[in-house]
């Protein structure tokens, strides 16, 4: 054999044994290990703190670096490097992406990172991490608080050099408030964000009502739907199922209003977009559709967003185009409407589990209860250890001469410690502490401080033992600390929840049929208490099945080519073309009053006003006024009463001559209209104040003024009182009054004497435990329906109004209790 052959023959083998393994088996085992790693250690959040491992490690690394809210910002590059080197051995891109998302106020309801620099937008990525800086927010501090009190378990990091928390104490219910999304192997999670105040109510409901457990109706009463940081509109077409099971879908719509963008053209103004949808994405898609001819009727598209006014996308419609039909097409073909799929997959003891919101709340409760137990045990042990030392010091002070003698006569420290333990019955810890105690602690003042501190420690120890022995006390602590979170980070809801029935979509075909009618036909415009305005034939709409509390609060005769006007709580005169209002047909009750009139947030329409087409041209020009009563003689007038007691009459002709959106009555700061109704010179009117005073006076005492006037003093009010209702006195009129104590009373209007204007009136009802009247109404009692609150949620209207069956009682009597809270009254249902 050649030398080369001998070399190969003597070469060592690379393995003692070679095992033949099928590739399919090896791949399946390796893939399973990889899948479990992605699911449990990367993509799915823990149900307790709602964080993925990378997010938890970022927050822990920043806390370890001292990047607290009261410290300066530090470079994100340093945070990314520290996190990657010590805790998270993965790519820097994934770490930086998770860091920036926790600091984006358009991605999180409560941010955990305080950004400094360009953290990106919905359309653009953040700047590189060498250009940006960050630090923790106070909310992140609350997530990390109590880590040093043995509240959670720790585990070694990937290299075994240090420890990291398995989960954070998480005082903030981060999972329910901020939501999350992630894609693992074979599964994904997608959780919506919610309003912190509503989440706190849900947690309190789940904690206090354990048997029987809350129903989905009770849950939806306190947390009606998601609340996204971008606002928008959630269409409730499956939220109950999603909240009950953890799986479901719903639609998110942009908030848009139809308004006049130029002198001769209407347009669509978008002020809020669906969650995670950027304005450039919407504009690009809309421009492509316009270019390809798939959306007609749009003349121009503009992005007028800025820092002061916020988001503002303007779609200018062509002349003669129905803007509602255009908006419907934009919802259908652009990201102005998106679907959101709820998939509440979380890790429970390391196992991916799908659960509803009540279960998520229960896991938060269980986690916080465990944190409180471990925290209290830690604090108790620490307090007992300190008390043990202080008791030893007190013994030493009582025998100070002996202590000094022992120390001076001992050869070394161990001997002194042993003698102190033997002669004073001290423990080794106490003896060592006495030997290390400075001489300045031997004064009389130090003894007083010791006794005070010992008393405080014993009181604290007793309280800790009560907490550990009382489940109710621990639950009270959970709710107390949660309410502190609400006070610190709670805000009003931004996202509106609407039902599919409330949508007023108009297709292009329907718009073509419903465009400007060829003839001017009579019709009736009706306004309901649920905020819907619709057009119906003079004989009334066809019978239908309703799912809303559609109690009519006003109804005016008009024609299909006329304009209908409304008086709002802000004293404004707003208008809408009757032809552009939706008809009352089928399940549709009409158009949302806010969309029809362009109302501001919180503004409501109190009264409708319409003139026949023949009289609309007689309206006073915008620049003129009719201030004299002679000009108003023989014409109908509208009487308006404000919360501060001001009153004013204005002619209908003067009213409809007001520029749309301008004041019909000039109100003072903080004032608002509470009533608007027709009243002639010979009509008596009654005004009711919150302190249960009722003034009856003649409408002739109230001047007829122009549109810019602020009215005259209608009712004299006591300090702190406001007008809560007013109305005309007709045949069989009664005064309904409802107190803050859920008591109500009906009083015959004839029992209220007539007095002069600007007087205080007479007492309408007596109070027992009540403090004020919340609501009042004046009018005939026949055929009235009352909108009442739901039994489990008095502030939410019940879908089924109740007939007015309250017995009329004498004036100045006590109000009898009612079964429900009253929210409004109307003439009947559609």
Does the pLDDT value for residue 157 go beyond 50?
yes
Which of these ranges, 199-213, 523-537, 689-703, 816-830, has the smallest mean pLDDT?
A: 816-830
Query: What values do phi and psi take at 338, rounded to 5?
Result: -130, 155
Residues 223 and 317 in one domain: no
Domain range for 312 is 255-335
pLDDT level of residue 554 (50, 70, 90 thresholds): confident
Name the token pair of 501: 């029935």
* Residue 652 located in a structural domain: yes
Does the pLDDT value for residue 5 go beyond 80?
no
With a pLDDT cut of 70, the percent of the chain lying above it is: 85
Instruction: For the chain, give the longest Cα–Cα distance.
Output: 135
* Residue 9 located in a structural domain: no
Residues 243 and 319 in one domain: no
pLDDT greater at residue 17 or residue 365: 365
Residues 691 and 583 in one domain: yes
Which of these ranges, 193-197, 216-220, 655-659, has the smallest mean pLDDT?
A: 655-659
Query: What separation, in Å, do the N-terminal and C-terminal C-alpha atoms of the chain show?
Result: 109
pLDDT of 34:
58
DSSP string, 520-537: --EEEEEEETTSEEEEE-
Domain boundary among 167, 187, 202: 167
User: How many other CB atoms are found less than 10 A from the CB of residue 271?
Assistant: 16
Residues 569 and 659 in one domain: yes
Per-residue pLDDT reduced to its tens digit, 784-804: 777 777 777 776 776 677 777
CATH of the domain at 447: 1.10.268.10
pLDDT greater at residue 711 or residue 309: 711
Does the pLDDT value for residue 734 go beyond 70?
yes
Which of these ranges, 121-130, 484-493, 700-709, has the smallest mean pLDDT?
A: 700-709
pLDDT of 459:
95
pLDDT greater at residue 445 or residue 718: 718
pLDDT of 185:
67
pLDDT level of residue 397 (50, 70, 90 thresholds): confident
Does the pLDDT value for residue 631 go beyond 60?
no
pLDDT level of residue 822 (50, 70, 90 thresholds): low
Tell how strand 684-689 and strand 266-272 pair up: unpaired
pLDDT greater at residue 612 or residue 442: 442
* Residue 20 located in a structural domain: no
pLDDT of 401:
84
Nearest to 179 by CA among 55, 92, 36: 55
Nearest to 338 by CA among 190, 506, 195, 199: 190
Does the pLDDT value for residue 818 go beyond 80?
no
pLDDT of 588:
65
pLDDT of 306:
86
Residues 181 and 241 in one domain: yes
Does the pLDDT value for residue 592 go beyond 70?
yes
pLDDT of 447:
79
Does the pLDDT value for residue 816 go beyond 80?
no
* Residue 279 located in a structural domain: yes
pLDDT greater at residue 76 or residue 602: 76
Strand ranges (E), 437-584: 496-498, 522-528, 532-536, 552-559, 563-568, 573-577
Confirm whether 96 is a catalytic residue.
no
Residues 109 and 140 in one domain: yes
| Measured distance CA(663)–CA(665) in Å, rounded | 5
pLDDT greater at residue 351 or residue 8: 351
* Residue 3 located in a structural domain: no
Per-residue pLDDT reduced to its tens digit, 260-270: 887 667 899 99
Residues 816 and 733 in one domain: yes
pLDDT of 460:
95
* Catalytic residue (choose from 131, 243, 364, 489): 131
* Residue 511 located in a structural domain: no
Report the mean per-residue pLDDT for the chain. Answer: 85
Per-residue pLDDT reduced to its tens digit, 15-71: 677 777 787 766 766 666 655 555 666 788 999 999 999 999 999 999 999 999 999
What total of structural domains would you count in the chain?
4
Average pLDDT over residues 704-727: 91
Domain boundary among 306, 335, 364: 335
Residues 155 and 187 in one domain: no
| Measured distance CA(608)–CA(638) in Å, rounded | 10
Cα torsion 3, 6, 12, 14: sign: positive
* Residue 504 located in a structural domain: no
User: How many other CB atoms are found less than 10 A from the CB of residue 78?
Assistant: 17
pLDDT of 22:
80
DSSP string, 212-223: SPPPHHHHHHH-
| Measured distance CA(339)–CA(424) in Å, rounded | 76
Residues 282 and 230 in one domain: no
pTM for this model (two decimals): 0.63
Domain boundary among 152, 167, 182: 167
Average pLDDT over residues 439-448: 69
Residues 385 and 452 in one domain: yes
pLDDT of 623:
43
Which of these ranges, 302-316, 490-504, 588-602, 671-685, has the smallest mean pLDDT?
A: 588-602
Residues 663 and 812 in one domain: yes
Contact 553, 571 (CB under 8 A): no
CATH of the domain at 697: 2.120.10.90
pLDDT of 78:
96
Average pLDDT over residues 99-127: 95
CATH of the domain at 151: 3.90.199.10
Residues 458 and 536 in one domain: no
Whether omega for the bond prior to residue 300 falls within 30 degrees of 0, making it cis, is: no
* Residue 123 located in a structural domain: yes
pLDDT of 546:
43
With a pLDDT cut of 90, the percent of the chain lying above it is: 51
Per-residue pLDDT reduced to its tens digit, 634-681: 466 899 999 999 999 998 888 877 777 788 999 998 899 999 999 988
């Amino acid at each position: 054999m050649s030398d080369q052959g001998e070399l190969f023959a003597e070469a060592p083998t690379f393995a003692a044994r070679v095992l033949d393994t099928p590739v399919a088996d090896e791949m399946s085992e390796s893939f399973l290990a990889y899948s479990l790693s992605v699911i449990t250690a990367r993509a799915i959040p823990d149900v307790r703190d709602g964080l993925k491992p990378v997010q938890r490690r970022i927050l822990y690394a920043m806390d370890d670096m001292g990047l607290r809210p009261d410290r300066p910002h530090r470079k994100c590059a340093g945070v990314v490097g520290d996190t990657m080197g010590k805790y998270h051995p993965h790519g820097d891109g994934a770490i930086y992406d998770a860091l920036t998302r926790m600091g984006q106020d358009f991605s999180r309801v409560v941010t955990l990172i305080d950004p400094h620099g360009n953290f990106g937008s919905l359309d653009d990525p953040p700047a590189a991490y060498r250009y940006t800086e960050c630090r923790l927010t106070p909310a992140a501090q609350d997530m990390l608080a109590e880590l040093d009190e043995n509240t959670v378990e720790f585990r070694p990091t990937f290299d075994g050099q240090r420890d990291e928390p398995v989960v954070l104490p998480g005082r903030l219910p981060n999972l329910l408030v901020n939501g999350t999304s992630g894609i693992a192997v074979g599964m994904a999670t997608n959780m919506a964000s919610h309003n912190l105040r509503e989440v706190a109510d849900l947690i309190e409901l789940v904690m206090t009502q354990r048997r029987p457990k809350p129903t989905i109706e009770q849950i939806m009463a306190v947390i009606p739907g998601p609340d996204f940081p971008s606002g928008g509109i959630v269409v409730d077409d499956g939220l109950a199922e999603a909240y009950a099971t953890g799986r479901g879908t719903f639609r998110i719509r942009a908030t848009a209003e139809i308004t006049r963008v130029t002198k001769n053209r209407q347009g669509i103004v978008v002020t809020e977009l669906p969650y995670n949808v950027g304005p450039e994405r919407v504009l690009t898609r809309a421009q492509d559709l316009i270019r390809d001819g798939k959306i007609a009727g749009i003349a121009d598209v503009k992005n007028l967003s800025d820092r002061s006014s916020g988001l503002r996308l303007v779609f200018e419609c062509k002349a003669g185009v129905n803007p509602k039909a255009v908006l419907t097409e934009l919802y259908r073909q652009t990201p102005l409407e998106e679907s959101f799929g709820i998939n509440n997959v979380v890790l429970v003891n390391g196992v991916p589990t799908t659960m509803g919101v009540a279960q998520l709340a229960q896991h938060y409760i269980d986690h916080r209860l465990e944190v409180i137990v471990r925290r209290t045990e830690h604090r108790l042990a620490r307090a007992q250890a300190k008390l043990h030392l202080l008791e030893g010091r007190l013994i030493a002070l009582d025998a100070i001469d002996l202590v000094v003698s022992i120390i001076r006569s001992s050869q070394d420290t161990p001997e002194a410690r042993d003698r102190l333990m033997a002669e004073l019955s001290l423990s080794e810890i106490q003896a060592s502490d006495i030997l290390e105690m400075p001489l300045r602690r031997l004064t009389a003042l130090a003894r007083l401080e010791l006794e005070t501190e010992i008393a405080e420690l014993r009181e604290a120890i007793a309280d800790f033992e009560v907490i550990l022995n009382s489940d109710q006390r621990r639950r009270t602590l959970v709710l107390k600390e949660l309410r502190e979170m609400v006070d610190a980070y709670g805000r009003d809801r931004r996202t509106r929840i609407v039902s599919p029935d409330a949508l007023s979509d108009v297709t292009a075909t329907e718009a073509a049929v419903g465009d400007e009618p060829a003839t001017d036909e009579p019709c009736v415009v009706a306004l309901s208490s649920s905020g819907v305005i619709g057009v119906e034939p003079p004989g009334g709409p066809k019978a239908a099945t309703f799912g809303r509390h559609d109690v009519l609060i006003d109804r005016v005769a008009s024609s299909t080519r006329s304009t209908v006007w409304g008086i709002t709580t802000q004293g404004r005169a707003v208008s809408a073309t009757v032809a552009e209002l939706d008809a009352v047909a089928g399940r549709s009750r009409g158009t949302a009053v806010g969309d029809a009139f362009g109302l501001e947030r919180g503004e409501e329409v109190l009264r409708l006003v319409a003139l026949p087409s023949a009289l609309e041209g007689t309206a006073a020009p915008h620049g003129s006024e009719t201030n004299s009563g002679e000009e108003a003689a023989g014409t109908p007038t509208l009487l308006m009463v404000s919360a501060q007691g001001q009153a004013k009459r204005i002619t209908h002709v003067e009213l409809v001559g007001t520029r749309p959106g301008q004041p019909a009555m000039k109100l003072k700061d903080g004032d608002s209209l509470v009533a608007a109704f027709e009243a002639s010179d010979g009509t008596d009117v009654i005004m009711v104040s919150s302190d249960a005073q009722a003034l009856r006076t003649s409408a002739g005492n109230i001047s007829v003024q122009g549109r810019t006037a602020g009215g005259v003093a209608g009712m004299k009010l006591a300090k702190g009182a406001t007008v809560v209702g007013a109305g005309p006195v007709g045949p069989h009129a009664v005064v309904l009054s409802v107190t803050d104590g859920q008591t109500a009373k009906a009083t015959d209007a004839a029992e209220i004497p007539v007095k002069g204007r600007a007087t205080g009136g007479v007492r309408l009802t007596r109070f027992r435990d009540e403090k004020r009247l919340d609501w009042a109404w004046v009018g005939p009692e026949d055929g009235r329906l009352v909108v009442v609150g739901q039994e489990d949620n008095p502030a939410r209207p019940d879908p089924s109004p109740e007939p007015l069956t309250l017995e009329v009682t004498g004036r100045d009597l006590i109000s009898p209790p009612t079964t429900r809270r009253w929210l409004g009254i109307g003439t009947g249902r559609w």
